[in-house]
Amino acid sequence: MTLMGLVVGYSSWVYVLGDPAHYDAVFRPKYTHYHTLVVTHGVTSILALLIGPWQFWTLRPDKPTPRQTSPSGRNLWHRRLGWLYLISLVVGALTGMPMAWMAEGGPSSRLGFFTVDVLWLVTAYLSLQTARRRKFAAHRRWMVRSYALTFGAVVLRLYLYGLQYLGYEFNSIYPFTPWLSWLTSLAVAEWILESVTPVTAKRRKPAHTP
């Protein structure tokens, strides 16, 4: 996941910050006209995509929680990156909303992109609130869901490239691939939460003494 995020993040970074003349022909007129909006959305969304995996490494579920650690070291980096992730996410979602309504693919793809932007904000808010209330187990679950929506950008490209490789036309698949991308990613995240978390909790459960 981390490697795929890095590859897509780097290629998207080069694409967004590159010469607008090199944008895909289908997007070039709108992307050039709304260039500032496109760059802002692209850069902040890429930052969220790149930061996310390191959050799970700087404070893994099998490591001490923030309540059990000092304000330095692992916990300090987790908080700093967490705030950068949330700020990038919020800006990416807010700039993504107007972009959603001018997306190719008609009403279906536009609603798909807009919906994921709304869910992006909702999961970010809930992850922040649970962290502030020191409900760290719930915080981790909401962050997994948040990053699953972020990672939907990678899944979207996999669907687009894969289906076009199989011979499907862009215009025939773009109306539903926005939905399919984040629904797939979120479904996998929920499966991980339901299958891995109970096992982890069971391992941590103290043994009963006779």
pLDDT tens by residue, 93-126: 999 999 999 999 999 999 999 999 999 999 999 9
What pLDDT is recorded for position 88? 94
| Average pLDDT of span 188-207 | 65
Task: Label residue 184 exposed, middle or buried (CB < 10 Å: 0-12, 13-18, 19+).
Answer: middle
What pLDDT is recorded for position 59? 54
Q: Return the percentage of the chain with pLDDT > 90, whole number.
A: 55
- Using alpha carbons, select from 92, 96, 89, 18 the residue that is nearest to residue 51: 89
- Using alpha carbons, select from 108, 98, 76 the residue that is nearest to residue 174: 108
Query: Whole-structure pTM over 0.85, yes or no?
Result: no
What pLDDT is recorded for position 57? 66
